[in-house]
Amino acid sequence: MYKTRAATPRLRPGPNGLPRGQVTEIQRSRMLAAAVDAVEEVGYARMTVAQVISRARVSRKTFYDVFADREDCFLAAFEQAVSQTRLIAREAYEREGDVWREGVRAALGRLLMFMDEEPGLAKLCVVEALAAGEKVLERRAQLLDEIAAVIDQGRHLTNTTREPPAVTAEGIVGGIFAVLHTRLLDEADEPLTDLLGPLMSMIVLPYLGARAASRELARPAMEVARDRQTRSQTRSRDPLEGLNMRLTYRTVRVLMVIAEHPGASNREIAEGSGIIDQGQISKLLNRLGRLNLVENRGEGQEKGAANAWHLTARGAQVERATRPR
């Protein structure tokens, strides 16, 4: 006999279903995940509302109840990705205290690692945002200004009698994004983390001079990760330390859904995190359970009841550390 793929369970608000607000949030999350997938596959220029709702398994009416148009949907996905990357970069930067050079290196290294892990989100933010509408371009410009403000702090560390002009940081950020844009379009096999040394050399050159730039080229690309492990022995424990799992976009979403809805079932978590395949969500939850990030307090399928997933103490720490701000 041929097996047919089970349809995605319908979300029904009301006394016997989920609260209407939760249904809307779950549907929104599914559409954002679907938009990221569509953009990665066909690009923003060819992304359609039909592609998004088909992947998210929602109606066209549901889409327009949440988003004004496809640009609005893309902007929401862009904002969500920016929030996640901002948190990652800020935490890496702040671990270095007041040392500008080391903080920038740590943040840049962590962002490059994230882009290697999430090429779809990287392409959305760096490449496809340029093809989106005016609102997205304005938000992108604000993001570049934020990054340039951090880079510009190096201007006050220069050893020369004359500081580089303030526009230097803008040029550096523009150059970095141009390099990343090219690499993401080429889809080369080399990881983006290989660019850490060259990009850091470009950043410090106008502020700290040629010698400092040369030293950046000589440093190992993954030195950031080793430094963080060493420092964790003397600082408060990093909740991500020793976590034998790559935290992808959807993994973070799963942890967020469980944090916001303790006791959620497999189906509810899948709906909230944008994962359509029930086998995939089961495997992911079981793996998170083996890592002691979640625990199932329900009766499970053996007794005919739904699973009820909760975060463990460590799972709550990881969720807080990775939650977009």
Per-residue model confidence as pLDDT tens digits over 128-166 = 999 998 999 999 999 999 999 999 999 988 876 778 998
What's the pLDDT score for residue 205? Answer: 95
Same domain, 241 and 225: no
Same domain, 124 and 219: yes
Q: Which of 131-135, 178-182, 314-318 has the highest mean pLDDT?
A: 178-182
Could you tell me which residue, 52 or 19, shows the higher pLDDT? 52
From residue 84, how far is each of 118, 202, 320 by CA, in Å? 12, 25, 12
The pTM for the full model equals 0.66
Q: What mean pLDDT do residues 285-291 have?
A: 90
Q: What mean pLDDT do residues 82-88 have?
A: 89
Classify residue 19: in a domain, yes or no: no
Is residue 187 very low, low, confident or very high in pLDDT (cuts 50, 70, 90)? confident
Same domain, 150 and 218: yes
Classify residue 248: in a domain, yes or no: yes
Same domain, 182 and 220: yes
Same domain, 115 and 186: yes
Classify residue 1: in a domain, yes or no: no
Could you tell me which residue, 324 or 106, shows the higher pLDDT? 106
What's the pLDDT score for residue 233? Answer: 38
What's the pLDDT score for residue 4? Answer: 33
Same domain, 215 and 130: yes
Q: Which of 189, 211, 231 is the last residue of a domain?
A: 231
Q: Which of 210, 231, 252 is the last residue of a domain?
A: 231
Q: Does pLDDT of 198 surpass 50?
A: yes
DSSP SS3 for 13: strand
Same domain, 222 and 256: no
Q: String of b and e for 64-95 (b: at least 16 CB within 10 Å)?
A: eebbeebbbbbbbbbebbbebbbebbebbbeb
What's the pLDDT score for residue 324? Answer: 57
Same domain, 108 and 169: yes
Query: How close are the terminal C-alpha atoms of the chain, in Å?
Result: 49
Q: Which of 3-12, 73-82, 235-244 has the highest mean pLDDT?
A: 73-82
- Tens-place pLDDT, residues 241-275: 666 676 677 788 899 899 888 889 999 999 888 88
Identify the H or E element spanning 141: helix 134-151
- The CA angle 152-154-155, to the nearest 5 degrees, is 70
Q: Which of 58-67, 94-103, 305-314 has the highest mean pLDDT?
A: 58-67
Is residue 181 very low, low, confident or very high in pLDDT (cuts 50, 70, 90)? very high
CATH number at residue 227: 1.10.357
Classify residue 214: in a domain, yes or no: yes
Q: Does pLDDT of 278 surpass 50?
A: yes
Q: Which of 187, 206, 231 is the last residue of a domain?
A: 231
Same domain, 145 and 174: yes
Classify residue 313: in a domain, yes or no: yes
Classify residue 32: in a domain, yes or no: no
Same domain, 209 and 86: yes
Classify residue 48: in a domain, yes or no: no
Same domain, 118 and 136: yes
Number of domains in the chain: 2
Is residue 22 very low, low, confident or very high in pLDDT (cuts 50, 70, 90)? low
Same domain, 150 and 87: yes
Q: What domain range includes position 313?
A: 236-325
What's the pLDDT score for residue 10? Answer: 47
Could you tell me which residue, 317 or 294, shows the higher pLDDT? 294
- The CA angle 199-203-207, to the nearest 5 degrees, is 155
Classify residue 318: in a domain, yes or no: yes
Average pLDDT, the chain: 83
What's the pLDDT score for residue 19? Answer: 58
d(CA 255, CA 241): 17
